[in-house]
Structure 1
Amino acid sequence: MSAAYQLSSCIEWQFTEAGELDARLRAAKAAGFALAEFHLWRDKPVAGLAEALDETGMRLTGVCVDPRRSIVDPAERADMVNAVRETIAATACLGKPDLIVASGFRIEGMSEEEHFANAVSALRAAADLAEEAGVTLLLEPLNTRLFAAMYLVSTKLGLDLIEAVGSPNLRLLYDVWHSACMGEDIADVLAGRMHLVAHVQVADMDDRHEPGTGSIDWAKTVETLRDLGYQGAIGLEYFPTLPMDQSLALTRETLGH
C-alpha cells in the first residue's frame, strides 16, 4: 500500500487489553497510529477521550451517530435528525470527527421509490445540520449476512443517495468486508464515483479478522483503490485473532504498508 494511506485503528475491537477507550487510544498511539475510530459514543468516556486526543495528538476518523435511527422510516425521522444533532454536539470536543450513519431496516409494504425518497429527505435534513456545524456524515452500506432486512446493503445505492442529496458534507464509507459479503466488485461499484468516498474500512473474509487471515486478494484490492483515486485513510475495522503486535504486523505486511 502506498505510504499515502494512513491506517486507523478501530479501538472498539482493538487494544482491548488496555481497558477503557481512552486507554486504548493511548495504546494505539504507542503502536504507531495517528488515527483511530470507534462506534457508538453514549457509553464511552467522551471527556477522557478528549483528554487523550489532546495528549497524543491523534485524530478520530469516525464515530457512529448515536442512537441509530432509520433513514427510511418517516416515524423515526425526527429522532434520526435529533440523533445527528446531539452527536454533532457531543463529539465537537473530539475534534469534529466524521459521523457514521447506517440506513435502518426496510419497511414492509413500502416501495423502492418510497424507501429512496424517505432516505433522501432524512439525509438532506441531517446534511443541513452537518453543513452548519462543519462536519461530514458518512453513509455506510452494510450487508444482509449480518442484517437480513437492512435497507442499504449496496454501494451503488449508497452513492445514488449521496448524489441525490447533493451535499458536500455527505459522503460514503466504503467497507471492503461488507461489500465482499454482498459479492460486489470494487472496481465496478466505485467506478467514476470515488470522489464521493471519504473513508474505507477493511477486514478479511469470511470472519472479519485481520487482512491476511482470509480469502480477499489484498494486493488487488489496494491497487484498485489506488487506481480509482482513493487518497483517504484505511480503517482497520476487524476482530484480531492474534496479540495486537502480531496482528498489526500481519496487517501491515498484507496491505504493503
Structure 2
Amino acid sequence: MYLAACIEWLFAAENPTFTDRIRAAKAAGLDAVEFHLWRDKPLSEIRQTLEETGVKLASFVVEPRRSIVDPAQHGEFLAAVRDSLIAAKEAGAPALVVASGFTRPDVPRQDHFDAAVTALRQAATLAEEAGILLLLEPLNDRVEHPGMYLVSTTEGLDMVETVNSPNLRLLYDMYHSTVMGEDPAQVLAGRFHLVGHVQVADVPGRHQPGSGTIDWPRYIGILRDLGYQGAIGLEYKPTGPTLEGLTQARKTLGL
C-alpha cells in the first residue's frame, strides 16, 4: 500500500497552484496525488509536473457530475464520461470517480438500482475502450451529502458485480462508510476483488487519521488481510499545517 494525497485539500493552504502541490507532495515523500473536479485544472501542466517529479496521479472525478439513477440524465452522464476519459488520458490518470446522484422522490429503490446499472454498463464500455478504470463511490447522506442515493457499500458492490466489467470497481471510502455505521470487515468480506481504490479520513470532522475515533490499526489490518496493495487516498481536511497532519496520518496508519 502507498499514500496518495488529495491535493484538493492537502498542501492547499501552503501552495495556491496544483503544480506546486504536486511538488510539495513529492518533497513530503508521497508517491501519488489525486483531486476532485478537472475542468478548472491545468491538465497539461499537471501532466508535465507529474512526469518531472515521478509522482503518480491516482484519480479524479467525472465532470460535470450527473445522476446515474435518473434515466433523464443518462445522456449528459455519458457525455461527461467521454469528456473525462479524454481528460484522464491527457493528465495521466488511470481512474475516474463516479457518484450516484440523488434519490428520486416516490421512485422505488429497485428502479434506481436498475437505472444505475444501465448507465454504468454503457460507461464501463467506454472505459474499456479507453483503458481507464471507473470507480463507483458510495457517499454518506448523514453529514455531507443529504439525499444521495448510493450510501451503502453493499449496494455499490452489488452494482459493480451486476455490471460485471473489468473497468468498473468500487471506491471504498472508509470515512463515508464509517459515518454510515458500516464495519469494513463485514461489508468487504468475500467481495474485495470488486474494490479498486481506498480513501481515508477520520470521524468526526473528516480530518487526518488520528484526529478522531476510528480504530486505524484495525482498519488497515483489514486491508492487509484482504491483500490490498493499491493507493490509500488521503482525502481529509487537515486541522493545521499539511505536514503536521501528514505526520500524524502516517504514524496512525503505519504507512
SS where residue 120 of structure 1 aligns? helix
- Please name the residue that 2:92 is paired with: 95
SS where residue 103 of structure 2 aligns? coil
- Please name the residue that 2:188 is paired with: 190
SS where residue 174 of structure 1 aligns? strand
SS where residue 233 of structure 2 aligns? strand
- Please name the residue that 1:10 is paired with: 6
- Please name the residue that 1:113 is paired with: 110
Cα distance in 2, alignment partners of residues 41 and 95 from structure 1: 12
Deviations 1:203-240 (A, max 9, x none): 00000000011000001111111112222110000000
Which amino acid is the alignment partner of residue 78 of structure 2?
A: V
For 2:134, which of 134, 137, 144 is the aligned residue?
137
Cα distance in 1, alignment partners of residues 187 and 226 from structure 2: 11
Cα distance in 1, alignment partners of residues 243 and 105 from structure 2: 46
Taking every aligned residue pair, what percent have the same amino acid on both sides?
57
State the TM-score, normalized to the length of structure 2.
0.97
The answer to whether the 8 Å contact 1:140/1:158 transfers is: yes
Cα distance in 2, alignment partners of residues 211 and 57 from structure 1: 26
Cα distance in 1, alignment partners of residues 101 and 243 from structure 2: 36
**Cα offset, 1:78, TM superposition:** 0.3
**Cα offset, 1:50, TM superposition:** 1.2
For 1:170, which of 147, 168, 171 is the aligned residue?
168
Which amino acid is the alignment partner of residue 6 of structure 2?
A: C
State the TM-score, normalized to the length of structure 1.
0.97
For 1:227, which of 186, 210, 225 is the aligned residue?
225
SS where residue 220 of structure 1 aligns? helix
Structure 1: tracts of 5 or more residues without a match: none
- What RMSD over aligned residues (CA atoms) do the two structures have, in Å? 0.9
The answer to whether the 8 Å contact 1:187/1:228 transfers is: no
Structure 2: tracts of 5 or more residues without a match: none
Cα distance in 2, alignment partners of residues 49 and 132 from structure 1: 24
* Stretches of 4+ aligned residues off by more than 6 angstroms: none
The answer to whether the 8 Å contact 1:138/1:171 transfers is: yes
